[in-house]
Amino acid sequence: MTRFEQPRIPTEASVRYLDGDFQVEKPGTFVRCAVTGQAIPLDELKYWSVALQEAYFDAGASIKRYTETNKR
């Protein structure tokens, strides 16, 4: 396996979440949703929090975490 190939066995990646993009720090095939624990393939990752450095499975999970962390 070259350093540009993705691993064939599903492995969890380490990701740094940026505004509008993310940076893979440790190669893998997926990240875990911070709310549901579901595996999210990196090529399907669309929702995350830069402030919390967390990934979310879908918009619902993202909104749930936002309301939990922004209570008044």
Q: What pLDDT score does 8 carry?
A: 72
Ordered DSSP codes for 2-54: -TTSPPSS--B-EEEEETTEEEEEE--SEEEBTTT--EEEGGG--EEETTTTE
> What residue numbers bound the domain in which 55 lies?
14-69
Query: For residue 50, what are the CA distances in angstroms to 5, 6, 66?
Result: 27, 24, 12
Number of domains into which the chain is organized: 1
Residue 59, in any domain of the structure: yes
Instruction: Identify the pLDDT of residue 72.
Output: 72
What's the confidence (pLDDT) of residue 6?
56
Task: For residue range 3-61, list pLDDT tens digits in order.
Answer: 666 557 899 999 999 999 999 999 999 999 999 999 999 999 999 999 999 999 999 99
Residue 35 belongs to a domain: yes
Six token digits for residue 38: 């579901």
The three state secondary structure string of 47-65 is EEECCCCEEECCHHHHHHH
